[in-house]
Structure 1
Amino acid sequence: MSDPSPFRILVIDDDTGMRQSLVDLLEAAEWQVEALSRASKVADHLKGSVPDVILSDVRMPGMSGLELLASLDAEAPPVVLISAHGDIPMAVEAMQNGAYSFLEKPYEPRRLLTALRHAAEQSRMRLSNERLKERLYRLSGLDRILLGETEDVANLRRDILDFAETDVAILVEGETGTGKELVARALHDLGKRPDAPFLAVNCAALSSDRFESEMFGVEGQNKGRLVAASGGTLFLDEICACPLEVQAKLLRVIEDKEVLPIGASTPIPVDFRVLSATNQDVSASVTDGRLRQDLLFRINTVTITVPPLRQRPDDLTILAAHFLAEYARIYEIEAPEILPEDLTAMLAHNWPGNVRELRHVCERRVLSARRGAGSLAQSISGGSQMDDLPATLREAVAALERELIAKAVRSHEGRMDAAAEALGIGRRTLNEKIVKLGLDKDALL
């Protein structure tokens, strides 16, 4: 749906009569018009008001229209230039410098209005797309998944936004725990078909004997996962660990864009955007014969590298604070503070498990904080909770049941039917467990 509000325009012309003539024409066409006599005033004007399009004379005292055009950044509104002294070289220079259009005076009003309207529509469309991309950016959780302020992470976010709307095959490289599947899901969510299926396949778990029946389907029994997910994204995780026999079958699907179910005589067309991921060196995998080179050529049109956490020391505090707050909400306590000794411990740790490891460390820290103990340094070592764990599995299960039941009863303000439903058990079973576990309902409220 187009924006119903009037187009906004900034007119720059040093000639008072011409400037007023343009203002009168545009206001008669129901434009919102602002006017300046000098191009040098534009930068300050744009700080407070951004029009849909700029209409500027070329030859003016001080800064010319061409100089104005060169001074504007890529985010500025489109510029239409007019000049009584225009010639072909000037028009060519204007267009090369990014002018939307160039017209000579005396201008034909209808032609000028048409050029300005098209420029304004294009400007609003660009802004609309940027707003949509920003909304999808938030919806996909890209800012949370790839939280950080280092240059590597900023570049990673830009790569995702740049390549999401393309159909090229992308190989996501990175160590275990860096978030490769989350990057792949963000590429899908921000792509052309976010509502289509996202099929994640763990290639290390595939076996040649079950691959065709599971992925291609069996005639008259099941249509297979590839057919069911056609139209969306095929994500091949741990591609270097894929058995060679399966690699050949995957390559055939990617190249032919069709699958032949077992027992069928006619292949079924499929359409995928192919994303892959690996924590291994693909060149070494090809050299060692673990990865087919022809398959690699099909899946790595673009390569995106997810940086390891040890290369992002400046992001440790913001990531830890985010995860601590997240788990504090889940476990309904106040998020523990990050102390100087916590930061020292985080900086000293090598983080072999990357962001995934940091997330688990923060969860352990919050669990310790619930008992009024612990620190991030202890959570990093992994030993902060072991002394407090129940001695037997039965005791551990009972402790967990007490915790869950107490939380459900408090959350539903003592309404036992609602608490039982939330726990997925019957009211009678809930009553029996409360008695068995020695819980006092009144004390919980």
Structure 2
Amino acid sequence: MSAQDTALSVLIVDDDKSMRASLVDLLEAAGWRTEALPRATQVAELLPKLMPDVILSDVRMPGMSGLDLLDSLDRATTPPMVLISAHGDIPMAVQAIQNGAYSFVEKPYDPRRLLSILRHAADQHRMAKGTERLKQRLARLSGLDRVLLGGTGDITRVRQDVLDLADTPAPVLLQGETGTGKEVVARALHDLGPRADAPFLALNCAAIAEATFEAEMFGVKGEATGRLVAANGGTLFLDEIAACPLPVQAKLLRVIEEKELTPIGATTPVKLDLRVISATNEDAEKAVTEGRLRQDLLFRLNTVVLTLPPLRARRDDISLLFTHFLTQYARVYEVAAPDLTHDDMAALLAHDWPGNVRELRNAAERRILAARRGRGSVAEAIRSDQTPEDVPDTLREAVAVFERELIGKAIKAHEGRMDAVAEALGIGRRTLNEKIVKLGLDKDALL
């Protein structure tokens, strides 16, 4: 983080041009970032954009006074305010403090005292913002418990590793069988880190075509912005990296090493700032030995390696996870979740779950679909082959089941961006909203 980013900032509001200039000179000489306005009426519009650490305002100004400005601001969300006036007296100072001002300074002011008051106010505001960020982080941690559900030692260690690594820029390689939740972990690393508000770009390396890679990922000058540039500042998730074509691996390596790319037809490179998280469902070292994965690329990706346990290695979590998924799908399909019998529990624990958590989730959905028709068991739900009994009784119900599945997949694929979901499905946004309400879909549960 640069010194410019860490410098304290102040918004100065004073109708006297010479006084504004004097305050700007004083504060910038002391290392502050400053913005100055001649009218208090301009503050409300510009405050969200400027986001200062403290406001320094004159009291007597035409139109809106400093006291009026103080009353107009939401003190729960706006920075502290210090008032300054050449006409100050004790009653005015008392009123200002009672109304929520941080402090009151008379003109002519003592520069050292003014700087001290402003610094204390700004430090207090930054501390409060830090506390709020901590609260938000803790709230997200409860979400991490939901997406990485379980109490066995292996999954507990994965959760702790995610918390430890989220704030770092280190590249992370996720190893684990198909269905163990590698993308879930990648998203958690992104969501809990400082890039949470920036894009998360997931690339299925097995589906990257060499012929169109540069155009799609780098972009074409004057025509389209590449996906990598669109994700700038965020996280790049390379799924199944060992399945990536070798020529594409070379281009990805160059982007990661040089932290820039040049769109097709352009001459000026674009700087990139991306955290790289990758994943593989096989032994990466073996893939290198077999010539399918570049060793130099692996060295760039495996600064930290996290291994996700298969579901069969955490059997104590199976019933907890299955119950969790049953509850989710019961809400989606508007049916009461069936109680698990002893036979159900035996079926859950007897199965090896080669598809891991993904297979378990799909079995839970099949169990709920059967429960809608008053039949079914966990043993039947575990079977991947569909029987005639799994078919809905009526055409209306079959259409509803199909629409739920199709819309749900689109919501997941487009990460909840409803305009993109509507476009992908070929329907209007209003029609999509009506179907979501009619079908009882829970977008948050799907994501």
TM-score between the two structures when normalised by the length of structure 2: 0.60
Alignment correspondent of 1:203: 205
State the match for 1:61 in structure 2.
Answer: none
- SS of the aligned residue for 1:208 comes to coil
CA deviation string 1:312-365 (max 9, x = no partner): 110011111111111111111111111111111111111010000000101111
In structure 1, the residue matched to 2:314 is: 312
Contact 1:345 1:377 in 2 (8 A): yes
- For 2:383 and 2:149, the matched residues in 1 are separated by 24
The answer as to 2:174 corresponding to 1:172 is yes
Contact kept, 8 Å, 1:368 with 1:384, in 2: the verdict is no
Tell me which residue corresponds to 1:401.
Answer: 399
| Aligned-residue RMSD, C-alpha | 3.0
Aligned match of 1:275: 277
What are structure 2's unaligned runs of at least 5 residues?
Answer: 1-124, 404-429, 439-447
- Mapped pair 1:423 → 2:423: no
Deviation by residue 1:113-152 (Cα, 9 ceiling, x = unmatched): xxxxxxxx999999766544211223xx311111001010
- In the TM superposition, what are the counterparts of 1:115-264 in structure 2 within 5 Å? 131-138=135-142, 141-264=143-266
Q: Answer yes or no: is the 8 Å Cα contact 1:364–1:385 preserved in 2.
A: no
Please name the residue that 2:299 is paired with.
297
CA contact (8 A) 2:239 2:279 kept: yes
Q: Distance in 2 between matches of 1:239 and 1:329?
A: 36
- Evaluate the alpha carbon distance shift between residue 402 and residue 318 of structure 1 in structure 2; reply closer, same or farther with a 3 A threshold: closer
Q: Secondary structure at the match of 1:147?
A: coil
Q: Deviations over 1:393-427 (max 9, x none)?
A: xx97654236799xxxxxxxxxxxx9997139xxx
**Partner Cα separation in structure 1 for residue 394 and residue 363 of structure 2:** 21
Rg larger in structure: 1
1:367-398 CA-partner distances (Å, limit 9, x unpaired)? 111111111011112357533527xxxx9765
2:194 aligns to what SS in structure 1? coil
CA distance in 2, matches of 1:372, 1:385: 15
Equivalent residue, structure 2, for 1:71:
none
Deviations 1:263-287 (A, max 9, x none): 1111111110000011010010000
Work out the number of aligned pairs and report it: 289
Normalising by the residue count of structure 1, what TM-score does the alignment of the two structures yield? 0.60
Mapped contact 1:172–1:306 kept (Cα < 8 A): yes
Give 2:141's aligned amino acid.
Y
**1:388–1:309 CA distance, 2 compared to 1 (3 A):** closer
Given that 2:322 and 2:364 are in contact with CA atoms closer than 8 Å, whether structure 1 keeps it comes out as yes
Identity of aligned residues (%): 55
Q: In 2, Cα distance between the equivalents of 1:218 and 1:298?
A: 27
Deviation, 1:183, is 0.5
Do the aligned partners of residues 401 and 380 (structure 1) sit closer, same or farther apart at CA in structure 2, a change above 3 Å counting?
A: closer
Provide the rounded CA distance (Å) in 2 between the counterparts of 1:331 and 1:148. Answer: 25
**Secondary structure in 1 matching 2:237:** strand
Residues 368 and 385, structure 1, Cα contact 8 Å, conserved in 2: no
Q: 1:375 to 1:220 in 2, by over 3 A?
A: same
SS of 1:171's partner is strand
CA–CA separation in structure 1 for the residues paired with 2:288 and 2:252: 16
Contact 1:203 1:236 in 2 (8 A): yes
| 3-state SS of 1:266 partner | coil
1:64-91 Cα deviation digits (max 9, x unpaired): xxxxxxxxxxxxxxxxxxxxxxxxxxxx
Displaced runs of 4+ in structure 1, greater than 2 A?
A: 121-133, 382-390, 395-405, 418-421
- Between the aligned partners of 1:354 and 1:253, the Cα distance in structure 2 is 33
Mapped to 2, the partners of 1:131 and 1:421 lie a distance apart of 32
In structure 1, the partner of 2:368 is 366
